[in-house]
Structure 1
Amino acid sequence: MEIIAVIGCGAMGRGIVKNLVKSGYRVYIYDASEAAVRYCEELGAIPNASSYQAAQQAELVITSLPGPEIVNNVMLGAEGVFAALKPGSFVLDMSTIDPKTAQNLYESAKGQQVHFYDCPLSGGPKGADEGKLTIMVGGDEVHVSAFRPVLDSIGENIFLLGPSGSGQVAKLCHNMLVAVIKAGLGEAMTVGEKAGLSRGQLAEVLQSGSAHNRVLDVFGDNILKNEYENVLFSLAHMSKDIHLYTETADYYQADSPLGQMVSGMYQEALKDGKGNLDSSAICDSGSKIIT
C-alpha cells in the first residue's frame, strides 16, 4: 500500500500529511482551504481539485473533517469517496463523529466493497506534527494488518477497540473527561484566586497531589496566564464533541449527568463568543458557572 489520499488538511491533517510523506508514501490531498493545500504541497503532497479526484488515485483514504455532516457528504453519493475507490480499498476516518454515523458509513462502504474504519485521534496538532498521535480504531480487525504501517507512521499508541463505532465511543468518552477536567480546573482556579492564591501556586499543588492531570500539562500555559488566543483545540470543536457524547449516551440509553452539565457550560461559553478561543477558555475567570 503505497498511495494514500488525505482529505482535510487542517490543524491535524497537515501533520498527518507530513509524516506520511516522510514515511515514503505518495500522498494526494484535497482541502477546501487553498492555504492548507499550499502548505501540504510544500511538504511534498499532490493537490487535487476534489475529494473524489484524490480518492480515485488512492488505495487508502484518510479523512480529517469537522463533523458528521461533512463526513457523510464527502463519503456518500455519486461523487463521494466510496464511489471513487476500487473494491478492496480502505477508508480511515480520523474525524470525530458519532458512532451511529460511523456504523452507517461502515455499512454503506461494505455495500461498495470498501473497508471503512473509524479512527479518531488524540494528541492535538503537536502530536500530529510529531507523528505521536493516539489512534482509536473501530472496525473489522481481520484487515487491520494491511494498513497498520500507515497507522504506525502517524501514531504512537494504536488501540484496536472492536467493531465499527468503537473508536468514536472511546474518543467521545475521552473528550468528555477532558472537558469536565477543564471545567473543574476553571472553577478551582477561580475559587483559589478569590482566596488569594495565584494560579501558578494552585497548579503546583494540584500536579504534586492526587489531582495531577495531563490536561494541565497540555493546556497549562493558557490556563495559568488566563489567556486563550493560543488555540490548541477550539472551544467550538470541544462543544461539538460533548454534544455528540451526550447524543451517544442517549443512543446507548446511558445516563450522562456530568456530560449534560459540562455540555451546558460549553454552550454558554459559545454564547459568550468564545468559540474561536482555545477550549481551555472554559477556565476564564470571567466565565459563568452553569448548574
Structure 2
Amino acid sequence: MNVGFIGLGRMGSGCCSNIIAKGHRVVVYDLAAGAMQAFRGRAQLARNANEVFEETDVTILSLPGYPEVEAVTAGFLEKPVQGKGVVDISTSSPVSSRRIHERFKAAGGRYLDAPLTGTPAMAAEGTLVVNVGGDVEDYTYYKPLIESFAKTSHYIGPSGSGNIAKLVSNYLAIMYEALYAECFPLAEKAGCDVAKLFEIISDSGVNCGMYQNTVPKMCIRKTFDRGFLLDYCLKDLSYFKLLFDEHKAPSLLLDAGINLFKLGHALGLGQEDASAVAKVSYNNLGLDV
C-alpha cells in the first residue's frame, strides 16, 4: 500500500518510521523542513500536502488540531477522492471529524478518526493504542496499516467516536490533575504535611495510578518534567466543550477546568508540563515552588 504521512512531530515521526519499517512505500510532508530531512532516503519527500494525497492510496494525518485537519482535507477534497482514504491520528474535534467524514464519503473516499493513546516513546516503539471511529468496513480495511504503528486498535463506533473516546480519557486525566493542583497546595498552606497526606490517601479508595504518578512530582517534589503540555490540555478541554455545546448540555466542571488552565496559560505556563497547573495555586497562595 502506498501511504502518505503528513505531520512528522513527536508522535508522527515515530509512527511514520514504524510504517516504513513494515515495508510500505511512504510519501511524507511537514511544514518543518528539518522534520522531513530526517526521512530522506527512507521516504519520498513531497513539496506540499496535496502532493502527498495525490501520490498515495491513503494519507495519515498527525496534526496539532482540528483547524489544521480541516484546512488540509479541504485541499484534498478539491482533488479526485474516489477510492482514496484518510486516517486522522490527531486528537481532534468529533464534531469536525463527522463533518469531514461526510464530505469524503460523498466523494467516494474513506475517512477514519483514529487518535493515539500513548507517548512519543511508545510511538517510536510501536506500542501505541488507537481508538477508531468511522465506517466499520473502512476500519477493517485499514486495520493492518494502523497496527503497523500501534500495538493494538479498537473500533469504537461511527465517525467521531474515536475522538470522543480520546477526549473523555484526556478529560478525566486532566481534571484529576486539576483536583490535585488545588487540594495539595491548599493543604500545604494550611500547615499539613503533604507527604504524610499523600501516604494516607494512598491507603484509601481515592488511590489510583493517576494519583501515584502525578501527586509526588507535582505537590511533593515540585518537579514539573516536560511531557504533555499545559496548552495541549487547554486545547483538548476546548474540543470537549464543543461536544457539550453541540448537545446543548451544561458543562459546569469542564468550564471550571478550562478557566484553571486558561489561568495557567496567562501565567506563561503553556509550554510547561500539564502538572505545572499546580503553580496557579501555589502562586495564588503565596507559596514557593
Name the TM-score, length of structure 1 as normaliser. 0.88
**1:157-215 Cα distance to aligned partner (Å, 9 max, x none):** 4221111111111111111111100111212331343334355x555555554333333
Asked if 1:153 corresponds to 2:145, the answer is: no
Aligned residues: 282
Asked if 1:93 corresponds to 2:92, the answer is: no
Gap regions ≥5 residues in structure 1: none
Instruction: Show the counterpart of 2:262.
Output: 267
Instruction: Show the counterpart of 2:64.
Output: 66
Of residues 167, 186, 202 in structure 2, which corresponds to 1:191?
186
**1:106-129 Cα distance to aligned partner (Å, 9 max, x none):** 111112211011111221322222
Deviation at 1:233, TM superposition (A): 1.4
Instruction: Show the counterpart of 2:16.
Output: 17
Instruction: Show the counterpart of 2:34.
Output: 35
Instruction: Show the counterpart of 1:226.
Output: 222
Instruction: Show the counterpart of 2:282.
Output: 286
SS of the equivalent of 2:183 reads: helix
Asked if 1:238 corresponds to 2:248, the answer is: no
CA contact 2:4–2:26 (8 Å) conserved in 1: yes
Instruction: Show the counterpart of 2:113.
Output: 118
Instruction: Show the counterpart of 1:252.
Output: 247
Gap regions ≥5 residues in structure 2: none
Q: Which has the larger radius of gyration?
A: 2
CA RMSD of aligned residues (A): 2.3
CA distance 1:57–1:209, shift in 2 (3 Å): farther
Instruction: Show the counterpart of 1:54.
Output: 52
Deviation at 1:220, TM superposition (A): 6.3
The 1-side partners of 2:54 and 2:202 are apart by 49
The 1-side partners of 2:268 and 2:104 are apart by 39
CA contact 1:85–1:114 (8 Å) conserved in 2: no
Of residues 139, 145, 159 in structure 1, which corresponds to 2:134?
139
Name the TM-score, length of structure 2 as normaliser. 0.88
**1:22-43 Cα distance to aligned partner (Å, 9 max, x none):** 222222111111222223447x
The 2-side partners of 1:264 and 1:215 are apart by 22
| Structure 1 runs, 4 residues or longer, greater than 6 Å off | none
Asked if 1:173 corresponds to 2:171, the answer is: no
